[in-house]
Structure 1
Amino acid sequence: MHDIRQIRENPAAFDAALERRGAAAVSATLIALDEKRRALITEVQISQARRNEASRAIGAAKAQKREDEAATLMAEVAVLKERLPAIEEDERAIGAELDDALAALPNLPADDVPQGADETENVEVARWGTPRSMDFKPLEHPDFAPALGLDFESAARISGSRFAVLRGGIARLNRALGQFMLDRQGQAGYAEIAPPLLVRKEAAFGTGQLPKFEEDLFKTTDDRYLIPTAEVSLTNLVRESILEEAALPIRLTALTPCFRSEAGAAGRDTRGLIRQHQFDKVELVTIATPDQSEAEHERMTEAAEAILQALDLPYRKMLLCTGDMGFSARKTFDLEVWLPGQDCYREISSISNCGDFQARRMAARYRQTGDQKGTHFVHTLNGSGLAVGRTLVAVLENYQEADGSVRIPQVLLPYMGGIDVLMPA
């Protein structure tokens, strides 16, 4: 959410930043709406003041037997009482139009975000690990994992496309990955939360899923939404709050199912586990002061990288360009893991600094130490630490053997109940 006061103060800079994200310049339209709203507010205030003044004068005129003056004043008050509701309704309508226009605009990119139209113009920042040399042609996981217990056919009969049933050892491996990630992120200083999976529309609005991306959410009959990511629940824990600066940063993590309709992904990744309607994910969220947020962004990225390094999965770190960032982000790092079956790197984690964009939508503020008067918006950050299903894909493909078996990474053995290899049925 953007501050109309800041837009009024520097409309050219606002439009230039929006244009970097491929959006049209809108400051003139926003300022015109704001001026109309402010004029109506002024008119309401003047009318209310005159109504109150005239009402007091009526009593004085009657007390002094000035009946004609009292009648004139009463007529004026009657006109003002009749007009005020219409003016107030106009002000509310213009205010709602302005709020809707502001809510539809994406966050502005940080200065060091590269300019670009799409993912082809993202910038590689670093690379870790060397893809394993295999003396056989590696397969994509849909081509060998069904023999290990990955069951798409049963899921399709139960729920339709983009669902999976995990059986036996592969189900245990999926659970092991989630628990391992959650444990490691706890050790990294992120407090574990078990949040609700259903949220009200105000919560989804707060993190930017609504109104723009409603088609990507699953909605219940009582106007709640299944979370597309635990970011929604975790970040909204501070909505409508005033925090003390000494309590920041707040670092949170959760392992939850996530639900996405994938309405905008028709025809993409139709095979396998890469893009599912339901999947597990370990989420990281940080609530910080503006001075802390850049360092927290790097810290969160390192926490996600540590999982990939512990699993010995080669990856690269990408700085997203302006055209590929999410709606609420001002700066984003993507971690892309190597998938030998696809012979390419694929996104496994997206870590974003949202600045005060979400905080404005949630009314989440903090009070600086020693300052008892003013409050300031917090900064919010979120990222995957990691997406469990995609990590399962990466483990299956990177640890596959020629006979169709899959070795279990060393760090996961304590979670596997004695299983060190998945054998095809």
Structure 2
Amino acid sequence: MHDIRFIRENPAAFDAALARRGLPAIAAELVDLDERRRALSTEAQVAQARRNEASKAIGAAKAAKDEATAAPLMAEVATLKERLPAIEAEEKDVAAQLKAALNLIPNLPADDVPGGAGEEDNVEVARWGTPRAFDFSPKEHADLAPALGMDFETGTRLSGARFTFLRGDMARLHRALGQFMLDVQTREHGYTECNPPVLVRDEAMYGTDKLPKFAEDSFRTTDDRWLIPTSEVSLTASVMGELLDESALPLRLTALTLCFRSEAGAAGRDTRGFIRQHQFEKCELVSIVRPEDSEAEHQRMVRAAETILERLNLPYRKLLLCTGDMGFGARKTYDLEVWLPGQSAYREISSCSNTGAFQARRMNTRYRVAAEKKTEFVHTLNGSGLAVGRTLVAVLENYQSEDGSVTVPEALMSYMGGIDRLEPINK
């Protein structure tokens, strides 16, 4: 959500920032709605004050038996009584129009975000690791994994497309990855482990900018709750409506949860395999910080996600997303893309975003600035540390052998109960 006062005072700058996202100017329209709302609010206040004043005068006139004075005052009060509800209703309608318009405007990009129209304009800022040189032709996970316990057919039979049934050591490796991620993020990077609800109300989805624009991307239950598309929703909204003490910041939260996405806008993408599922698990990272700390926290969060890839010895690259490829709520985003030898390509495995005060304003989450005795909106950040399913895919492809087996990464050995290799089930 944007601050209408900022738009009112900086219309040209606001429109220029939107233009960097490829969007048309809208400041004048928003300012006009705001001026109408404020004018109606003032009109209602003036009318209410005059009504109160006239009512007191009527009482005084009647006490003095001055009907000549009381009669016109009573007529005026009657007119005001009839007019006030219409003014208030019009103000409410204009305010709703303004809020609806603001709800659909994405966050403004940070100044150092590169311009661009799409993913082809993202800027690679770093690479880590050297892709393994295979002495055979490596397979894609969709061809390799079924013999190891990744059962696409049963998942589809049970639930439809984009669902998968994991069995045996494959399921254990998936679990090991999630537990490993949680342990690293809590023990080494100071995140507090949480176990939040995966069903949330409208307010939580709205506060984390998933509603109203992206309603079709999520699943809704018959009792009007939402299955979370990411635990960013639950973790960030856990401070919704709160006034935090400055001493409590930064808050760093993590959770390993199921996530659910309808993938309404992803028709035809990654239909094979385990990369794009309706149900998946993710280790989420969320930070709630002071505005002056958010840039440094962003770098810290990205580093926490990179650590997982490096411990697993999975080559990756880091991208700074351009204005045309950033998410709706982000002001700056780094993506991590892991090397998949079966596809001979880097694929996204983590996205870490600084949303500034965009979500905090929607959630009405502030902190008390101790030294100045005032309140400000917090800044919120979120990232994947990492997506478990995509990490499983990366392990399968990078650690595969010619005979179809997969070596368990050393970092996961202690989680696998002595299992150091996944062998084809039908071998």
For this structure pair, what is the TM-score category when the shorter chain's length is used for normalisation?
A: over 0.9
* Root-mean-square deviation over aligned CA pairs: 0.6
- In the alignment, what sits opposite 2:168? 168
- Aligned residue number for residue 33 of structure 1: 33
Question: Hey, what does 1:312 align to over in structure 2?
Answer: 313
Q: Within 2, Cα distance between the matches of 1:43 and 1:89? A: 12
- Aligned partner of 1:10: which letter? N
Q: Distance in 1 between matches of 2:399 and 2:75?
A: 86
How many Å separate the matches in 1 of 2:194 and 2:412?
A: 22
Q: Which runs of 4+ in 1 moved over 4 A?
A: none
Look up the match of 2:281: 280
In structure 1, distance between residues paired with 2:283 and 2:371: 36
Q: Which deviates the most, 64-73 or 342-351?
A: 64-73
TM-superposed CA distance for 1:255, in Å, is: 0.2
How many angstroms apart in 1 are the aligned matches of 2:63 and 2:251?
A: 64
1:177-196 per-position Cα deviation (integer Å, ceiling 9, x unaligned): 00000000001100000001
Give 3-state SS (helix, strand or coil) of 2:211's partner.
coil
The residue number in structure 2 matching 1:92 is 92
| Alignment-mate amino acid for residue 349 of structure 1 | S
| 2: CA distance, partners of 1:59 / 1:369 | 49
Q: Provide Cα deviations, 1:361-390, integer angstroms capped at 9, x if missing partner.
A: 000101112333x20000000000000000
Could you tell me which amino acid in structure 1 is paired with residue 174 of structure 2? N
Instruction: Provide the TM-score with structure 2 as the length reference.
Output: 0.99
Q: Which residue of 2 aligns with 1:74?
A: 74
Displacement of 1:24 in angstroms is 1.1
Aligned residue-pair number? 424
Aligned-partner residue type, residue 104 of structure 1: L
Deviation at 1:22, TM superposition (A): 1.2
SS state at 1:127 partner: strand
Instruction: Give the distance between the partners of 1:63 and 1:159, measured in 2 at CA.
Output: 78
Alignment gaps of 5+ in structure 1:
none
- Tell me how far apart the structure 2 counterparts of residues 170 and 59 of structure 1 sit (CA, whole Å): 83
Question: Does residue 384 of the first structure (1) align with residue 384 of the second (2)?
Answer: yes
* Mapped partners of 2:275, 2:142: distance in 1: 10
1:338: which partner in 2?
Answer: 339
Q: Please state how far the C-alpha of 1:245 moved relative to its aligned partner.
A: 1.1
1-structure distance, mates of 2:144, 2:136: 14
Q: Distance in 1 between matches of 2:6 and 2:255?
A: 35
Query: 1:14 is matched with which residue?
Result: 14
The 5-angstrom pairing of residues 335-374 of structure 1 reads 335-372=336-373, 374=374
User: What is the CA distance between 1:68 and its match in structure 2?
Assistant: 2.4
Q: 2:279 is aligned with what amino acid?
A: Q
Which residues of 2 match residues 145-164 of structure 1 at below 5 A?
145-164=145-164
SS at match of 2:259: strand
Amino acid at match of 1:318: L
Any residues of structure 2 matched to 1:168-187 within 5 Å, and which? Answer: 168-187=168-187
- Once the two structures are superposed, residues 204-258 of structure 1 have per-residue CA deviations (whole angstroms, 9 ceiling, x without a partner) of 0001000000000100111110000000000011111111111111111000000
Q: Who is 2:197 aligned against? A: 196
Q: Residue by residue, what CA displacement relative to the aligned partner does 1:333-372 show, whole Å, maximum 9, x if unpaired?
A: 0000000011000000000000000000000101112333
What amino acid does structure 2 have at the position aligned with 1:120? E
- How far residue 103 of structure 1 moved from its aligned partner, in angstroms, is 1.1
Question: How much has 1:72 moved relative to structure 2?
Answer: 1.3
Residues 61-99 of structure 1 show CA distances to partners (whole Å, capped at 9, x for unaligned) of 111221122121111111111111111010001001101
